[in-house]
């Protein structure tokens, strides 16, 4: 069943952010496997494939990605067929993904 009445998260209005975070955490596994399915279905290098790689990278990594002054678009665009992930430290059993830790 799809959630209803979820507003777009606006960081200056914590009520909207907390509702979106709750939805994201509740659907973590679904979102993760949806991103995996998109990555497998889309042609490597297309924008949707790059978004899936970026999301999976954030969901799988232990450390924060380094932006080095770049924008989010540059981070998303950094994923290519040769570079499906960044050099962040990967999770070991029992560790929390940085993306989830930052949400809390």
63-76 per-position pLDDT tens digit: 555 556 666 677 67
Would you tell me how many other CB atoms lie within 10 Å of the CB of residue 99?
Answer: 17
Q: Using 50, 70 and 90 to split pLDDT, how confident is the model at 83?
A: low
Per-residue pLDDT of 3-58, as tens digits, reads 777 777 776 777 777 778 888 888 888 998 998 898 889 888 888 888 888 888 88
**Residue 24: predicted pLDDT:** 84
**Residue 43: predicted pLDDT:** 85
Q: Which two tokens stand for residue 97?
A: 């993904």
Whether the Cβ atoms of residue 98 and residue 58 lie closer than 8 Å to each other: yes
Q: Which residue carries 């978004």 as its tokens? A: 51
**Residue 87: predicted pLDDT:** 47
* pTM score of the predicted model: 0.65
User: Per DSSP, which regions of the chain are E strands?
Assistant: none
């Amino acid at each position: 069943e799809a959630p209803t009445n979820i507003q777009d998260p606006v960081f200056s209005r914590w009520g909207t952010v907390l509702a979106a975070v709750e939805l994201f955490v509740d659907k973590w596994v679904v979102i993760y496997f949806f991103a995996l399915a998109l990555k497998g279905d889309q042609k490597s290098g297309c924008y949707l494939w790059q978004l899936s790689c970026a999301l999976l990278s954030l969901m799988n990594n232990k450390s924060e990605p380094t932006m080095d002054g770049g924008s989010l678009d540059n981070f998303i665009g950094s994923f290519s067929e040769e570079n499906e992930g960044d050099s962040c430290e990967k999770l070991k059993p029992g560790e929390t993904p940085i993306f989830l830790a930052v949400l809390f």
